[in-house]
Amino acid sequence: MTTPVVAIFHAKPGCEDVVDAMFRSVIEATLKEEGCIAYQLNRDMDDPARFVWTEEWESRASLDKHLASTHITDMFSKIPEFVDHSEVVVLSKLAGGLSGNISAENVCLTT
């Protein structure tokens, strides 16, 4: 079974653009990583300082390899300067999935 992840980061006041750019800078490399199924950056519509990653990995081992990658460790070393709090939640799938109303051709997993 795959490993879903939700990661929430709240930018410090005035740092939203820096955090946005920092996060966008790792998307392309991450989408090319072995085991990456989905890696999507989202922004809270009601709180523009809140960034929410939704991710899916083939396995926990794939996620762990991602977290140890250079582009991610470099980014994580810079985050404390620009983010006031964060939470990363590694999940275990229980039920559900893609709607039957959406074909695979219509699902966009990149930016």
CATH number for the domain that contains residue 45: 3.30.70.100
Quick check: is 105 in a domain? no
Quick check: is 103 in a domain? no
* Residues in contact with 3: Cβ distance below 8 Å, sequence separation at least 6, in sequence order: 56, 57, 58, 59, 60, 62, 63, 90, 91, 92
Angle value at C-alpha 85, between 73 and 89, nearest 5 degrees: 70
Quick check: is 43 in a domain? yes
Q: Residue 13 belongs to what domain range?
A: 3-91
Counting the structural domains of the chain, the total is 1
What pLDDT sits at residue 101?
78
pLDDT digits (tens, 9 = 90+) for 28-83: 999 999 999 999 999 999 999 999 999 999 999 999 999 999 999 999 999 999 99
What pLDDT sits at residue 1?
87
